[in-house]
Amino acid sequence: MDPTMDRSMDATFQRSPEDPDIVTVNMGPSHPATHGVLRLVLKLDGERVRECVPHLGYLHRGMEKIAENRTYLQFIPYTDRMDYLSPLAANVGIVLAIEQLLDLEVPERCSAIRVICCELARLGSHLLWLGTHALDLGAATVFFHTFKDREWHYDLVEDLTGARLTTSFTRVGGMMHDVDKKWLGRLREFIDAMPGRVDEFESLLTTNGIWLKRTQGVGAITREDAIAFGMTGPSLRAAGEPYDVRKQRPYCGYENYEFEVPTGSEGDIYDRYLVRLEEMRQSVRILRQVLDNLPDGPVNVDDPKIFLPAKKRVLTRMEELIHQFMIVTEGFECPAGEVYHSTEVPKGELGFYIVSTGERSPYRLRIRSPSFNNLATLPHLVEGGLVADVVANIASLDPVMGEVDR
Amino acid sequence: MTQDGKLGVDWIQTNHPEAILSRGEYAGQHWVQLDAQSLVDVCHGLHGDPDTAYSLLVDVTAVHWPNDPQPMEVVYHLYSVEKNDRLRIKVRCGDEGPVPTLSGIWRSADWNERETYDMFGIRFDGHPDLRRILMPDDYTDFPLRKEFPLYRG
């Protein structure tokens, strides 16, 4: 760590008085390649990065504080705004944590629909990552191809939840509503097309000479360092550690689906790229199994104190009306206790640590964000490298600032 | 139900019994409250001993209990990739700490402890770069303390 580096937020452009080649520059916070509002202060020696100091918090909305002042159900919409590229996955994560606190089992059909949500979110997130990653490195064609498919994915999400981004599709003890046959058919069309599309993306990049030069051996991290930094998700697996929450600590019945966890060996940008591409194929594989074996039966738990009654019954029956009124205005109480529950979202391990004192809102809700911990490796990855590779490194970590800052 | 963290708590019970102040369990997740003085020693052991091998410090955070004599509770979540076990460690401290830093054992403690400092005002002794991380440098409050209001006006 350089003691002469200005680490405050007031750091500004400087030229070293001793050596005119050494300059301190600001990158961001509004920079097209920082994927949101990330600010880096870079100390450069010509084209080499000597030191990199990230400044976060430009998107900090105090979600953990807000959670302490909302009922459990009211917090679900906030999870849409964390990783806004895969809101469905975060929706599932929060309700699983609350259900563990309540010791609530959901029906099989509900779990299967949640798996669809998680994997659909992974496909959508990786499509965006691939497009922008390639765009950051100058390969604009890939961007148009992935965004075409991402639009298709968003059409599916919109038809499922009513919104492209603010999905809020899960409920404690169930889902907003069941999925219908027509939508499942359209999902099957999408996943039938995806493997071919991933092959097409690969044909543009995997053996592309420029892509190889920009990614191979760049931004490498060892397995040990990645673990020490708390890295999770595809970036950790690219470094050779096959830790995947879906395999290690299955939830939503992931243990019933066959899929592989791709790993890399070098831990460089190219390996992260290959791992994510393979994850897309595995997501398709999981989705296909869910569609083939989607269980029938109820989607929601039959607990009127926790799950909202059907609207039709609310309008005709007194008891249901009261339950609806109570859940909406006051929420439900969770038993006193604490749980940490994590899920494998596209970026890595997303954990919710909830401390309850038996009230209707959490006493403390902590969001363990994968992007935050992955981004912490950035100085380690870029220092000593070229300034142009900073952009490649950020893109390969796939951080979403909404999730970093929360 | 899985018994998460039992491995670690039992290891501490065997190797550092004097460090344990209390222990408990909820929903199959075991936690242990440690004496702040022995935190670093115990964590060195939990990290280095192949029987436990908690190689991943998943999260550092805190919970504010304003009416307690030691109002700040720092909470660590450890994960052992080899043993597939998750352990929760708690340490109590005064209003502003201090708590010894774990950044010498896990580098992920660096940013997570900075966030805990930023949100709660707990100082981590020996942290290499304890600055605010999410809030601006010139901010004076600690937003996740219970006395900090949600609305102002």
CA atoms within 13 A on the CB side of A269: 30
Q: Confidence band (pLDDT; 50, 70, 90) for A94?
A: very high
Sheet containing A48-55, strands listed edge to edge, beginning at the edge strand earlier in sequence: A14-15, A22-27, A39-45, A48-55
Residues from chain A contacting residue B110 (CB–CB below 8 Å): 376
Of all residues in chain B, the percent with pLDDT exceeding 70 is 98
Range of the domain at B86: 6-125
The distance of A364 to chain B (nearest Cα, Å) reads 7
Architecture of domain A63-301+333-368 in this structure: Orthogonal Bundle (1.10)
Lowest mean pLDDT among A3-12, A243-252, A308-317, A333-342: A3-12
In a domain, B151, yes or no: no
Judged by CB atoms closer than 8 Å, whether chains meet at A1 and B136 is answered as: no
pLDDT of residue A232: 92
- What mean pLDDT is predicted for residues A292-314? 86
Question: Would you say residue A383 has pLDDT above 80?
Answer: yes
Judged by CB atoms closer than 8 Å, whether chains meet at A1 and B27 is answered as: no
Judged by CB atoms closer than 8 Å, whether chains meet at B55 and A227 is answered as: yes
Q: Which secondary structure element, helix H or strand E, spans residue A254, and what is its range? A: none
pLDDT of residue B1: 61
- What mean pLDDT is predicted for residues B100-106? 91
Residues from chain B contacting residue A381 (CB–CB below 8 Å): none
- What mean pLDDT is predicted for residues B113-133? 91
Is A249 part of the contact surface with chain B (CB cutoff 8 Å)? yes
The partner residue sitting opposite B58, judged by closest CB among A10, A241, A349, is A349
Residues from chain A contacting residue B151 (CB–CB below 8 Å): none
Judged by CB atoms closer than 8 Å, whether chains meet at B57 and A230 is answered as: yes
In a domain, B137, yes or no: no
Q: Is A259 helix (H, G, I), strand (E, B) or coil?
A: coil
Condensed to tens digits (0 to 9), the pLDDT of residues A199-241 reads 999 898 888 888 999 898 898 999 999 999 999 999 999 999 9
Give the start-to-end residue ranges of the domains of chain A.
Answer: 63-301+333-368
Condensed to tens digits (0 to 9), the pLDDT of residues B72-89 reads 999 999 999 888 899 999
Phi, psi of A382 (to 5 degrees): -95, -20
Q: Read off the CATH number of the domain in which B95 is found.
A: 3.30.460.80
**Which structure tokens are listed for A21?**
């080649």
Condensed to tens digits (0 to 9), the pLDDT of residues A62-77 reads 899 999 888 998 999 9
Task: From B13, B19, B1, B25, select the one nearest B88 (Cα to Cα).
Answer: B25
- What mean pLDDT is predicted for residues B54-58? 91
Mutate to test the interface with B, among A59, A100, A340 (most CBs of B within 10 A): A340
Question: Would you say residue A9 has pLDDT above 80?
Answer: no
The distance of B16 to chain A (nearest Cα, Å) reads 24
Question: What's the complex ipTM?
Answer: 0.91
The distance of B66 to chain A (nearest Cα, Å) reads 12
- Burial class of residue A2, CB neighbours in 10 A (0-12, 13-18, 19+): exposed
- What is the overall mean pLDDT for chain A? 89
pLDDT of residue A150: 92
**Is there a contact between A267 and A223 (Cβ–Cβ < 8 Å)?**
yes
Q: Give the number of domains in chain B.
A: 1
